[in-house]
Amino acid sequence: MNQSPFYQFSSPAKLNLFLHIVGRRSDGYHQLETLFQFIDRCDQLQISITDSPAINLLTPIEGVTKEDNLIFKAAKLLQNQTRCQQGAEIKINKILPMGGGLGGGSSNAATVLMALNILWKCQLSLNELTKLGVSLGADVPVFIYGFSAFAQGIGEKLTVKTPKEYWYLVSKPECSISTAEIFTHKDLPRNTPRLSTTEIELKNCHNDCQTLVIKHYPKVANLLSWLLEYAPSRMTGTGACIFTQFNSKAEALLIQSKLPSEVQSFVAKGINESPLLKELKALRDTTKLFK
């Protein structure tokens, strides 16, 4: 089997700076309004293309079958859609927590779609990739888009935004939360009024999942209450991760040092452009795949 060198790509986390659920479609999908911002905390994917059509994951994720892994599903989806006869070998250095609301799996899927689109010479447009992405998950399109954005619909209608790039302390208590569990819960609010303008005042926004989660997950409730004593804090997505906003890295590190030992945490900078975009541009420039 012939294969290319391994190419490395970033797969960043995201924060939902707010999350409003404004309705529910007949197919069960929720209609959202949210503001996505990336942070400079990333999984790293390494991809090598092969002349065999097999998709091999060289670093399986514990507790996730190959068929359920969004990395594998994204590669197979692109392969089937474009009838590509090549395959890939894929490794991941997974540092983003699962079940945290940071979009790690969706980000991994988007990185695979974007990278293999170039490496396999599929030449799908951004819109075509986005349509594939949304079939894998509502958060995938923003990672394909690559810019912080106000999202509507089920997450696929994106408008570029440039929220202030704060420093964040991201904390995760000892629990993981199923997105499906939260979005199917009978007590989840589903009728928040739509924003009347795309000029967003974050102080007037909230996370519709947060009240439900803290009611059923006391570890999230206790951590959020503790963090609010120090700085503005909010849950991202369906949790369990909470982001706390600071003007400087030093402030964030100081509060991190006070966290209980059982809480996972890291400090990261908000960024309004995904690092993947520059990596993909460099790949196109160096490999000259599109002439």
Q: Which domain holds residue 78?
A: 1-291
Contact 51, 222 (CB under 8 A): no
What is the pLDDT of the chain when averaged over all its residues?
Answer: 94
Torsion-angle region of 19 (φ positive above 0: left; ψ -120 to 50: alpha; else: beta): beta
Residue type, 137: G
Query: What are the counts of helices (DSSP H) followed by strands (DSSP E) for the chain?
Result: 9, 10
pLDDT at 287 over 50: yes
Range 82-107 average pLDDT: 95
Counting Cβ atoms within 10 Å, is residue 4 exposed (0-12), middle (13-18) or buried (19+)? middle
pLDDT at 42 over 80: yes
In Å, the largest CA–CA distance within the chain is 58
Give me the active site residues, please. Answer: 14, 139
At 291 the pLDDT is 45
Overall number of domains in the chain = 1
At 82 the pLDDT is 98
Going by pLDDT thresholds of 50, 70 and 90, the confidence category of residue 114 is very high
CATH number of the structural domain spanning residue 132: 3.30.230.10
pTM: 0.95
At 85 the pLDDT is 96
pLDDT tens sequence across 62-73:
889 999 999 999
pLDDT tens sequence across 222-254:
999 999 999 999 999 999 999 999 999 999 999
At 289 the pLDDT is 45
